[in-house]
Amino acid sequence: MSAEGVRARVRAEMTEEIKTVARRHLATDGANLSLRAVARDMGMASSAVYRYFASRDELLTALIIDAYDAVGEKVENAEKREKGGHVERLLVTAHAVREWALENPHQWALIYGSPVPGYQAPVDTVAPATRVILLIARIVQDAYEAGAIAEQAAITGGYADELARVAQQFTPGTPPRLVGAAFSAFIHLCGAVSAELFGQLNNSVDEDRRGYFEFQMRGAAAFIGLG
């Protein structure tokens, strides 16, 4: 392209490199990573980084969006390759989430851990954040439409209304109760992964953590009415 394009490309490369270095620092410093340290690693002045990210929070936001997209893409690919039934699709999805989390514990903490103090997630993060739960919902919807799920008692109340609203938007035709069960599986999934990563399992489940996780997710599948 034009020379303008060159500058834009260099800028994009710099932006990407800053994020890569920042991700490395995430491992040692967690969410309160040092912008100055990142700049030092890149051999540039700390003030120069502000040409690319207006603040540390903005850099964090970029990392958060990337993390959501990374886990989303990994999980979607894993599920796409699975040729088994609905339970298998659900389990392979869950295990893919866990594996990504084990590979990138600090990015997991960034998106599913305690929010960093004073940081307000902007709207840009909402869409990428929904990829995993949407995939689970789609699997459950597929199973429902295939008649693979036994009839369940309907639920009522405010939560049921909210579930109905969500169902209408993302998985029309699926009963609210079932959407609730899918959501429940997602909550259980996140809780199981976070418990493993954040140390709640230490001194009680130390060896077969994959078995632990499988047990949780089979329970979640059963609650959905699968398996």
Partner DNA sequence: GCCATAGAGAGAGCAGTGCTCTTGCTTTTC
Partner DNA sequence: GAAAAGCAAGAGCACTGCTCTCTCTATGGC
Binding at 77: pick from DNA, a copy of itself, none (beta carbon under 5-8 Å per type):
none
Binding at 4: pick from DNA, a copy of itself, none (beta carbon under 5-8 Å per type):
DNA
**Candidate list 16, 30, 51, 222; residue touching DNA; CB under 7 A:** 51
DSSP letter assigned to residue 85: -
Binding at 55: pick from DNA, a copy of itself, none (beta carbon under 5-8 Å per type):
DNA
Type of residue at 88: E
Question: Which value, to the nearest 10 degrees, does the dihedral of the CA atoms of residues 113, 114, 117, 122 take?
Answer: 60
- Site membership for a copy of itself, residue 122 (CB under 8 A): no
CA distance 98 to 53: 30
- Site membership for a copy of itself, residue 208 (CB under 8 A): yes
A 10 A CB-CB count for 205 gives 15
Binding to a copy of itself (CB under 8 A): which residues in 19-48? 28-32
- Site membership for a copy of itself, residue 158 (CB under 8 A): yes
**Candidate list 10, 126, 146, 154; residue touching a copy of itself; CB under 8 A:** 126
- Site membership for a copy of itself, residue 219 (CB under 8 A): yes
Type of residue at 135: L
- Site membership for DNA, residue 4 (CB under 7 A): yes
- 225 and 150 in contact (C-beta within 8 Å)? yes
**Candidate list 19, 37, 85, 131; residue touching DNA; CB under 7 A:** 37
Unique residue bearing structure tokens 């949780």 = 216
Phi, psi dihedral angles at 77 (to 5 degrees): -65, -45
DSSP string, 101-135: HHHSHHHHHHHHSPPPTT----GGGHHHHTHHHHH
- Site membership for a copy of itself, residue 222 (CB under 8 A): yes
Q: Which residues bind a copy of itself (CB under 8 A)?
A: 28-32, 109-110, 112-118, 121, 126, 129, 155, 157-162, 166, 180-181, 183-184, 187-192, 194-195, 198-200, 203-208, 211-212, 214-216, 219, 222-223
